[in-house]
């Protein structure tokens, strides 16, 4: 076990890998990916669900009721429902958000895609986003999936993060560099 990873990260990665293996074995990779994305979106938007899942005082029965209700509403695959049930039984349901995130990263890696975060100072058109994604894909020899947001505090330019690589062409960053240089003089 890597000493650089926390117990929750190791556990989340292992459970995500197990879910990926089950989905692949049952030929449900696309279905489970959609289930994970849908549940992740609900989890992010619904603070009550997050609070419920991370509350250690909740009983097995309450967790199973919530899983069954979510399944009724979202029509999960049998593999995904069984997986969620295992998380409840093994008392790992409070890792749910990290497991979902790890699974999505693992799935992107399996598809040969990289996940990148793009922050711009102004709203970019869909065409500009596509051109930027295509250019990055060509440069890195891999499909790039962009998570895009706008931060007007950047003044101008872009920030792109792909894994541990950060490219910051923002005016705010340039001004900060000049400020540091002037303070050193």
Instruction: Check residue 23 and give its pLDDT.
Output: 94
The answer to which of 33-42, 78-87, 137-146 has the lowest mean pLDDT is: 137-146
| Three-state SS letters, 2-33 | CCCCCHHHHHHHHHHHHHHHHHHHCCCHHHHH
Instruction: Check residue 65 and give its pLDDT.
Output: 93
Question: Which class for 86: exposed (0-12), middle (13-18), buried (19 or more C-beta within 10 A)?
Answer: middle
pLDDT score of 184 more than 50:
yes
Q: Which CATH class is domain 7-109?
A: mainly alpha
| Mean pLDDT, all residues of the chain | 88
Instruction: Name beta bridge partners: 118.
Output: 148, 160
pLDDT score of 2 more than 50:
no
Instruction: Check residue 102 and give its pLDDT.
Output: 92
- Rounded to two decimals, what is the model's pTM? 0.66
CB atoms within 10 A of CB 84: 24
Instruction: Check residue 1 and give its pLDDT.
Output: 42
Q: Where are the domains of the chain?
A: 7-109, 114-184
Instruction: Check residue 21 and give its pLDDT.
Output: 94
Instruction: Check residue 5 and give its pLDDT.
Output: 65
96-130 pLDDT, tens digit per residue, is: 999 999 999 888 888 877 888 899 989 999 999 99
The DSSP output letter for 124 is P
Instruction: Check residue 4 and give its pLDDT.
Output: 55
23-78 pLDDT, tens digit per residue, is: 999 999 999 999 999 999 999 999 999 899 888 889 989 999 999 999 999 999 99
């Amino acid at each position: 076990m890597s000493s650089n990873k926390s117990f929750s990260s190791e556990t989340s990665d292992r459970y995500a890998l197990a879910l990926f293996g089950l989905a692949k074995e049952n030929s449900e990779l696309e279905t489970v990916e959609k289930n994970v994305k849908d549940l992740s979106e609900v989890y992010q938007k619904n603070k009550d669900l997050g609070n419920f899942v991370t509350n250690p005082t909740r009983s097995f029965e309450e967790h199973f009721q919530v899983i069954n209700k979510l399944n009724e509403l979202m029509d999960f695959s049998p593999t995904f429902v069984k997986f969620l049930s295992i998380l409840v039984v093994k008392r790992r349901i409070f890792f749910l958000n990290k497991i979902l995130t790890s699974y999505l990263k693992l799935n992107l890696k399996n598809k040969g895609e990289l996940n990148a975060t793009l922050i711009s100072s102004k709203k970019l058109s869909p065409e500009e986003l596509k051109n930027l994604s295509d250019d990055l894909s060509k440069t890195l020899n891999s499909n790039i999936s962009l998570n895009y947001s706008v931060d007007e505090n950047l003044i101008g330019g872009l920030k792109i993060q792909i894994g541990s690589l950060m490219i910051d062409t923002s005016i705010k960053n340039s001004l900060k560099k000049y400020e540091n240089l002037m303070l050193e003089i």
